[in-house]
């Protein structure tokens, strides 16, 4: 029976390939959409939980949040380092960390900050930076450029690879972060004073008028972790009186961003459902055509005493194989797509983990398999009971 089923599949390979492609496309879209949406959601939530307040120049709250937490886009500008000192001396604040960004190493952003910014990220090799011109590189940066402890980094002015090279002020790699599966994997970290000294050394008299860089005594933002929620609200209220700065709550900004993500995700899911429903009709139609093409074979089996149940099993086996193959290919394709999307997503501060599988993905694949087999079961139940020989 199995040999006959496989032979029958080979003789009708064109139609079966159409079924396979139909299922693979819809299943890949569904699995990829769900996984990507969940990883984006997890990444946003986990990253924003570290700080309850970000202070920066007046402008877009979303841009300020995404720039400081995910290293995307350009900084809004600069503010005085006095804000850092003021918050560090505030008894209501646990930690206030300076943040500056304006240079790059190849495609990796250079982040000027303090060692506290890397707390909990784990330095896998070496140690955290302590002196100026020392750097800690993210896991992906080290892997992409083959960096090791002691290597020198020639950075570029600006956030693109085409900027002026800072050849006279290289950074020395003193540490490499362990893999975090966050935007930290794709950045290089150094002391805030390193950023100041690099720009002081090079001057940059001809700055792009649209670019802002942290010169000595300035930062692009301050990340704050308050001791209590009440303290945070009180500090924000006090700082709101200063028109030169913008104070944002990362969780609130990310909730707005996630609202747009959730809307997009619902639209994608709705499209996936529509595609899967269409697949039911496609699979049903092709199954009916296959079974009518196999009428003589079915008649012969009925003639030699093969029961309806076995005939049903024959076709169920065929589409069951197609269903299993389709789900396996869909899962592999979804991981390949995540890998291909990785570089583009990294530029937006999103890191996809191709090994991460959510339980609901298994449910999607199970549904795909059922959709592949169910129309076959219904069709075989109806057609195999007919007395084809008399017809």
Contact partners, residue 274, CB within 8 Å, separation at least 6: none
What's the pLDDT tens digit per position in 339-390?
888 777 776 667 788 888 989 889 888 887 887 777 767 766 665 555 444 4
Cα–Cα nearest to 99, from 175, 213, 241, 232: 213
What's the pLDDT tens digit per position in 229-244?
899 999 999 998 898 8
β-strand pairing of 187-191 with 108-113: parallel
Q: What pLDDT score was predicted for residue 21?
A: 83
CB 162 within 8 A of CB 156: yes
Cα–Cα nearest to 322, from 359, 285, 376, 384: 376
Q: Please give the DSSP secondary-structure letter assigned to residue 33.
A: H
114 has a pLDDT exceeding 60? yes
HSE, CB side, 13 Å, CA atoms: give it for residue 344.
Answer: 5
Question: If you average pLDDT over residues 37-55, what whole number do you get?
Answer: 80
Cα–Cα nearest to 181, from 350, 23, 297: 350
Give pTM, 2 decimals. 0.74
> Quick count: other Cβ atoms within 10 Å of Cβ 374?
16
Q: What pLDDT score was predicted for residue 5?
A: 62
CA distance 73 to 108: 13
CA dihedral 68, 150, 153, 190 (to 10 degrees): 20
Q: Which long-range contacts (CB under 8 A, 24 or more apart) does 233-238 make?
A: 234/92, 235/53, 235/87, 235/90, 235/92, 235/93, 236/53
The share of the chain scoring above pLDDT 70, in percent, equals 79
H/E stretch holding 316? helix 308-346
């Amino acid at each position: 029976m199995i040999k006959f089923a496989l032979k029958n599949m080979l003789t009708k390979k064109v139609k079966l390939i159409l079924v396979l492609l139909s299922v693979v496309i819809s299943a890949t879209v569904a699995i990829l959409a769900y996984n990507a949406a969940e990883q984006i959601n997890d990444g946003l939530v986990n990253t924003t939980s570290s700080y309850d307040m970000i202070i920066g120049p007046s402008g877009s709250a979303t841009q300020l949040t995404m720039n400081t937490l995910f290293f995307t886009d350009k900084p809004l500008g600069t503010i005085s380092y006095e804000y850092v000192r003021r918050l560090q001396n505030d008894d209501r604040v646990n930690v206030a960390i300076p943040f500056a960004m304006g240079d790059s190493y190849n495609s990796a952003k250079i982040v000027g900050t303090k060692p506290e910014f890397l707390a909990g990220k784990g330095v896998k090799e070496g140690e955290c930076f302590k002196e100026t011109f020392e750097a800690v590189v993210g896991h992906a940066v080290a892997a992409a450029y083959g960096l090791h402890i002691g290597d020198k980094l020639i950075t570029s002015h600006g956030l693109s690879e085409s900027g002026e090279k800072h050849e006279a002020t290289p950074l020395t790699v003193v540490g490499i972060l362990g893999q975090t599966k966050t935007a930290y994997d794709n950045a290089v970290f150094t002391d805030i004073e390193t950023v100041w000294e690099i720009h002081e050394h090079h001057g940059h008299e001809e700055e792009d008028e649209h670019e802002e860089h942290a010169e000595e005594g300035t930062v692009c933002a301050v990340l704050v972790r308050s001791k209590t929620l009440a303290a945070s609200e009180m500090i924000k209220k006090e700082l709101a009186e200063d028109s030169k700065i913008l104070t944002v709550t990362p969780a609130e900004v990310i909730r707005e961003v996630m609202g747009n993500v959730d809307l997009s995700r619902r639209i994608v899911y709705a499209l996936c459902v529509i595609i899967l429903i269409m697949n039911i009709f496609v699979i049903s139609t092709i199954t009916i055509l296959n079974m009518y093409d196999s009428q003589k074979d079915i008649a012969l089996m009925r003639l030699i005493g093969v029961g309806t149940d076995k005939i049903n099993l024959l076709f169920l086996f065929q589409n069951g194989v197609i269903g299993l193959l389709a789900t396996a290919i869909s899962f592999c394709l979804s991981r390949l797509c995540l890998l291909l999307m990785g570089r583009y997503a990294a530029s937006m501060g999103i890191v996809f983990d191709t090994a991460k599988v959510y339980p609901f993905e298994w449910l999607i694949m199970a549904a795909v398999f059922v959709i592949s087999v169910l129309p076959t079961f219904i069709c075989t139940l109806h057609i195999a009971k007919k007395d084809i020989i008399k017809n």
